Chain A
Amino acid sequence: MKKILAIIFLLGLTAEAFASYISLNTSLTAKATDKELRAIVTSVNKGDEAAYSVQAVVQAGGRTVSGEKKSELPVNGRYEAMFNLPVEEKLPGVYPLVLTMHYADANQYPFSALTVQTYTYKNEPPPSEVFGRSSVGTFWKNGRIKLLIKNMSDQELSIKITLVTPRELIPAEKERSILIAPRAERRLELGLENFSALSGSTYQLFAILEYEMNGLHQTTVVPGLAKIVESHLILGLDYTYLVIILVGLVIAAVLFQIFKK
């Protein structure tokens, strides 16, 4: 009977899942000649789980180039890609270079990680006169990136702000241009929407500030961190409202208990 019972009731066991992670350590080096930008991407998986469908995509000078897709990048595996992009910038100076590493986990859930650098085209300009600071903070569905931009030069500057986000987050405005008076600062907020970011994850994003001054192009890269935390809702109500309702009910019950005869 013992044997029979053992057979009968031990059905349908599944394997327990253990948390693991993918961590791509990515380096990007770039050098521009008069007509060409050469970018070299190296990425090593320092996590404890293989990454899949790994592919680097580089954007510079309005062009986007994709590297070869590697079907599997094992733990400590290395991904390398080299890009040659034709560059025909109007002005010499410093320009942004955006690298997006696309990859997926074992369930083919897609992720992306950003790196933003600058490269110098023809002449190296003096240090940028624009300073920026960002804060994003924590959000779930909709968030905002708050930017503080300071013009430290003696000229009024027209600054183009480009928001670069991983594909999990969608900016409400991808670009915006502003004017900043000499020695002045401006605060602005740009909306972000959570498209497919997972709760508990932190995503790096960038605001790229570009302007022209004295015949030179300048770029300032402002990094920011968005932390995604699912907000607790019950029947669509936030905890604040729930606590108010709860307190209201408790007070009503207590008052009724005391005063009702």
Chain B
Amino acid sequence: MNPGRFRALWRAWFRPRTKQHELDREIGFHFEMLVQENLEAGMSPEDARLAAEREFGGRDQYREACRDTWRPPTLDRMVADFRCAVQSLRRSPGFALLAVVTLALGIGANTAMFSLVNSVLFEPPPYPEPDQLDQVYRSTEQAPKGQVSVADYLDLRPQLASYGEMAAYAYHDVSLVDSERSPVLVSGLRVSATFFDVLRVTPQLGRGFSPEEELHGNDQRVILSERCWRDRFGAVEDIVGRIVRINGEPREVVGILPGSFNDWRHLGWVDVLMPLALDAEERTDRANPRLVLLGRHRTDLGHSEASAFLAAFGERMAAEHPEVNEGARWRVMPLRQVLIGESGALVLSMLVGLSAFVLLIACSNLANFLLARTMARAREFAVRAALGASRLQLLRPLAIESLLIALAGGAGAILAAHWFADWLAQRSTGDNGEQVALVLSWPVFTWAFTASVLTAVAFGLAPALFAFRLNLSGTLKSGGRGTVGGRGQQRFRHLLIVGQFAFALILLTGAGLFIRGLADLNNRRTGWSSEGLVTGGVLLPQGDYPDAAAIESFQRLAVERLAALPGAESASLSFHLPFLTWHETRRFVVDGQLLPERGREPAALVNGVSSDYFGTVGTQILAGRGFTDQDTATAPPVAIISASMARALFGSAPPLGRRIAQAGTAEVSWCEIVGVAADVKSIFPDPTPVTHQLYRPIAQEPRPWLEIAVRTEPAAVATIVAGIRQAMADIDPDLPVRKLTSADARIERENYQLAVLREMLTAFAVLGLGLASIGIYGVIARLMAQRTVEFGIRIALGAQIRDIVRLVLGSGIRLALTGAAAGFLGAFGVARLLAAAFPNMHLDPGLTLAAAALLLVAVALIACYLPARRASRISPTAALRAD
């Protein structure tokens, strides 16, 4: 727009009155000049004026003519266009509804995914200046994201001046008892006093921990989460100073965390914080990494300097304590990245990509609808154009129509995103009340509306442009056949259908792979069996079970009572359940073998089990014996190793009778290998770097946290759950049992995030398939309508209805197959992406792809058959007469 034109428009829009006035003055001037001329020609003033009036004629007429040239599209004209668009949409409510719903579904899926991305990637972590926060890992071959030992942490603490601040915490679930209610097992952390400074979290009531409270014996304090305070203490104001019993010991509540602390992306499930008061034994422990380090580096430090500082410290530790730290590297990862997760960005971008496919399918449907509609109105446009309407005038109501559809679609999309957030929150709610809370913030709304307007305008106006390429007089002359549309359009519509089926195949494959992969994970029962197995966790409060003897007597009693439950076949206690990842890794040395290089000793996951464990969970003893009641604390130490470990350590030589000990400890305590058990696989999708497994008798390593397992008849699961609860309450009324349910249900819950992903992918696939079948249905139905006359002639000439149906079906199936073929490449891409994101998931693209293609063709067949059936209703005489 050149500046002169802009100025003129500006004046016309915003200063219409001035403009009017100027016009009057200008015309007045002209009139005066006319009078002047007449005067000069010798007329009397009277005559001069009269003659001028005569010549001038009606001023209003050309005043109006002038005004027409600069009148802007006034509000009332826009209102008229708007009403025209609304009316035209109301005249075909079916179309309007279909278009809006299509757009809302497409953009809704996309917006929901964007809200997920927005919450995970773009919303800042719930702490001030989050970019200074680092998570520190002590990385070894077995544990790339390993934790740090207490002794290493204590060595690091005095050297932090050049880095910044460092907080340490350890996971520490506890049983919480307040005066009235039954005990609960809550998630807790033991945190260093620096925790609050590093995260810059200020308790909303009370205070954080002081350094003095890190001293052992002076740590009887607790800080509660807002959620815990609300749910268990009714949010009473005078909570600070109250005494609660934690693990059987009294602790004083000194503070309440702010609500923002329970953010689902970081420590959302945590309800109690206790001071990290380390006792003498813990302070010297360098062998067991059990602390998570979270640092806030100084503002003048970048990520690389922070990394370099901790890497250098790690090297020093390796040099000073090679027996445990050889081969361990210290790494730093920005907290922001930790929250996104290892494969988080990959999975999220895949989800957004797949939802974009849904959107594209929806868009091509929209384009097809609008094209059909525009073509149906081609005569109307031709007539209007012939009457002198400009392109702009023709386009304007179409554009407004598209815009209306876009707005309705965008609103629908936001509704969809809202539902998605609700669904996800509900779906993700855990035992502790923690849930995924998506943020529906401005970026999400902007995304929804921008996407709607862009797609509706692009896909709404593209068909309109086709209409303008029509030969006007041809359209007018051709009568009813103005609606057939040219070859170019036909190709365009077919291309849309092919594209839809290509995308639908990709979506179906993604969903199919994931459904199968997750079913495989959830049904993975390698080395144990889940039928009729009930599990639950207990934690023995240290106050009530202060020593090994107390724990051991509890274990003995518990196993006895559980096994005696009516319906129970056998019962056991163990540190870990076979199907969950055993977090405990130890390295071992074998008696009589050359000592491997430090840090390179064979590693194994360790589980402590009671004597009936193997029989209860169904893990087979392949050689030697299981544990017995004679393997007590005072009996000779024994161990059972997994088959893969036996093979790796001893090859074909018999492992029984050989001795093995934990590496890196001050005193070597040898255990005799008395049995070989079958290998067990966890049901988690992440691969475990350590695959060897080693069992120890639970009596020889007393621990306060235990997993219950009871084997029963599958039908008796519900009754045994109640029985277990009762039995445990009989032993100790203050002992909460957590996650008490069937092993199958527990597995479902453990993998719920994958299930959520599966459900999202399935929803995409269903949406994509549904939209694509509507699309192909529409195209085939139009094809039928357009070629009715032709088919009538064919039938009149002796074609069978069957032939017509075959012809129509054939063209539909050809489109679907072309689309499916085009989608193969993308489907393989999705399979590769999923395989990269979930390496331990068993994904088999071949079969899934074939099934997806088959399903696609079947759906296309049905969608095409419905309109094709109408062939039987074609009456050749009627069809011929209609022309």
Partners in one complex: no
Q: Which residues of B contact A (CB under 8 A)?
A: none
